[in-house]
Structure 1
Amino acid sequence: MEKYSSIWRLFYALAIIGIAVQQMVLGIFMPVIIPPNAPLLSGSLACVWIISVLLLSASLVIIISGRYARAASLLTGGFLLLLFIVFHLPYQLKNNLHFLAGWSDALKILALSGGAFVAAGSVATKSRLVKTIPILQSFIPLGRFFFAIDLLVAGIMHFVYISFVVMLVPAWIPWHIFWSYLAGIALIAGALGIILDIKLQLAATLLGAVIFIWLITLHIPRAIADPVSGHGNEIVSVFEALGFSGIAFLIAGNAKKKR
């Protein structure tokens, strides 16, 4: 089980690394990390690099160091959660209070924060560093809920914004409306399974598989076709899908280990 957990943690860490590197290359924050026009940080290249290097370093520790992977995961989860609370929540409440789609990036960073806590829960370690951050350890059981909230809302948005979602389905796939609705149902069902602990391992496994299929058939081709628009938004989507797939598989693995 630990062998596979290390693979899923790799998925998650590579997602954070990919987003951090893209920020460093472009010299700007991706909206999933910091919302537009954030006080003090917006337009500051130094802040972009500092935050990106921190995320990059922690992710490398998650991949390389078995001894400190749990601590690095906890610190990553806490840092992303702090960004969500300090920057994303005020921005969304001010600008997108009644616009569901506007909450997309805020919920994604919440999901990534939850994924870090899920990753921490998949690592068994006796590192003393972990003992110095007991507050962050208390968030480990909440990680799956942070992740599932984003997917639940994303599933709902498949129905609310169906006219937009159908445009995301590759042209070579028939019945765009059918697949769009089915994707929404899959997200909602998987998220509810994780939140309500109903067939948790099965729900998380299927969700991880579905997201990984979307990564291959949808996100990678779109990123290849248009790697530039929106400061590489399609590339960010590739990393997000990779990370979300890894998080879902980690939740399934943690559920099996606990059982």
Structure 2
Amino acid sequence: MDKLTALGKWLYAAAFFVFGIQHFMYANFVATLIPGWLPWHLFWAVFVGIAFILAAVSIVINKYTRLSSLLLATLLALFILLIHIPNLSAKLQNAQSWARALQDLTIMGTALLISGQANLQLPGKYLFAIPLVFLAMQHFTHAAFVTAKVPAWFPAVEVWDYIIGLVIIVMVAGIISNRYLGAPALMLAVLLLAFALLYHVPLLAANLYNGQQWTAAMLDAAIAGGAFVVAGLPAIYYKNLNMATK
């Protein structure tokens, strides 16, 4: 289980290290995402980039992990409150805006899990898992940006779209129900990582300097990392949780 947790943390940390670098590479663009009423947009873009890199390093070297992951979760919560909610209120029907907000909720849940804070493990797991149900449902609507992640060389791409959405929902149901220990989370992690590699690696190999592709790849890596972290939760966690719910 420790190996699964370590793999999940490394995937998660790698994603935020890349996000941090992107904040420097594309600082002027990132500054446009800062709420208009906040001063010093460029400063905040760089500050968040530094915070991401420090959090990633802290998680990898396993020093001050509780503090850094809690601060990271707080930062992601601020993104949801200050950026995603205003965007969604203006574009309520925009499926891609919903997807980004849900992805940030999921990786926020992972940060709570990585913190190791006992009273945050249950809310962290739910914050990780529940948004994935809504993300999986986008596979049934064949949202273009979701269906595109099924490799084009797969036969019957739309059928695979349904299958992937259904499998994710079933695995998430297993995670939420606390049954079969970490097996559903492990299967989910393998599925997410496999499709991330099949989809993103060829595209990045064709254009290594595509910033948007790197962002999408790292978001998928962070979510897959979260699934490995959930899979690595010790058996005693599930035993205590099931006893508490009886």
- TM-score, normalised to structure 1, is 0.81
Q: Is the 8 A contact 2:107 2:128 kept in 1?
A: yes
**Code of the aligned partner of 1:253:** G
Distance 1:161 1:171 in 2: 14
Q: Is the 8 A contact 1:14 1:59 kept in 2?
A: yes
Distance 2:93 2:121 in 1: 30
Distance 1:110 1:198 in 2: 23
Q: Is the 8 A contact 2:5 2:230 kept in 1?
A: no
Distance 2:39 2:204 in 1: 26
**Code of the aligned partner of 1:181:** Y
Q: Residues 41-80 of structure 1 correspond to what in structure 2 (within 5 A)?
A: 44-66=41-63, 68-80=64-76
- TM-score, normalised to structure 2, is 0.85
Match of 2:153 in 1: 172
- The unaligned stretches of length 5 or more in structure 2 are 240-246
Q: Is the 8 A contact 2:34 2:83 kept in 1?
A: no
Match of 1:106 in 2: 101
Match of 1:253 in 2: 232
Task: Give a deviation string over 1:232-251, Cα, whole Å, max 9, x none.
Answer: 22111111121111110110
- The unaligned stretches of length 5 or more in structure 1 are 122-135
**Code of the aligned partner of 1:70:** R
Q: Residues 151-230 of structure 1 correspond to what in structure 2 (within 5 A)?
A: 151-161=132-142, 165-227=146-208
Match of 2:244 in 1: none
Distance 1:194 1:90 in 2: 31
Q: Residues 232-251 of structure 1 correspond to what in structure 2 (within 5 A)?
A: 232-251=211-230
Q: 1:138 to 1:219 in 2, by over 3 A?
A: same
- Structure 1 residue 107 displacement after superposition: 1.2
Q: CA RMSD in A?
A: 2.5
**Code of the aligned partner of 1:11:** L
**Code of the aligned partner of 1:17:** F
Q: How many residues align?
A: 238
**Code of the aligned partner of 1:106:** A
Q: 1:253 to 1:223 in 2, by over 3 A?
A: same
